[in-house]
Amino acid sequence: MDAYLLAVATVVLIYVLLAIGLNLQYGETGLINFGHVAFFALGAYTSALLALRGWPLPLSFLAAAAVAALAAVPLGLAALRLSEDYLAIVTLGFSETVRLVIQQEEWLTRGVQGLPGIPGLYTGLSGSWRAWAIFLTLLALTAAAALAVSLLQRSPFGRMLRAIRDNEAAVLALGKDPAGFKIRVFMVGAALAGLAGAFYAHFITFITPEQFIPLVTFYVWMSIILGGIGSLRGALVGTALLVFFLEGSRFLRDLLPGIAEVQMANVRLALIGLALVLFVLYRPQGMFGKRLP
Find the DSSP H helices in 105-177.
Answer: 106-109, 127-154, 156-166, 168-173
Q: What is the largest CA-CA distance in the chain?
A: 66
Of 39 and 245, the structure prediction assigns the larger pLDDT to 39
For residue 133, pLDDT beyond 50: yes
Q: What is the pLDDT of residue 293?
A: 44
Average predicted confidence (pLDDT) for the chain: 87
Q: What is the pLDDT of residue 22?
A: 94
Helix (H) or strand (E) holding 36: helix 36-52
> What pLDDT digit, counting tens, does each position of 211-232 carry?
999 989 998 998 898 888 888 8
Short-list 243, 226, 219, CA closest to 287:
226
C-alpha triplet 254, 256, 262: angle, nearest 5°: 90
The three-state (H, E, C) secondary structure of 247-266, written as one string = HHHHHHHHHCCCCCHHHHHH
Reduced to 3 states (helix: H, G, I; strand: E, B; else coil), residue 214 is helix
Q: Characterize 40-60 residue by residue with b for buried, 16 or more Cβ atoms within 10 angstroms of its Cβ, and e for exposed.
A: bbbbbbbbbbbbeeebebeeb
CA distance 190 to 39: 6
> pTM (2 decimals)?
0.90
Reduced to 3 states (helix: H, G, I; strand: E, B; else coil), residue 8 is helix
Q: What is the pLDDT of residue 231?
A: 83
DSSP 64-76: HHHHHHHHTHHHH
Contact 31, 176 (CB under 8 A): no
Average pLDDT over residues 253-271: 68
In the structure, what pLDDT confidence band is assigned to residue 138 with cuts at 50, 70 and 90? very high
> What pLDDT digit, counting tens, does each position of 70-113 carry?
999 988 888 777 777 788 888 999 999 999 999 999 989 998 99
C-alpha triplet 48, 52, 55: angle, nearest 5°: 90
Q: What is the pLDDT of residue 63?
A: 97
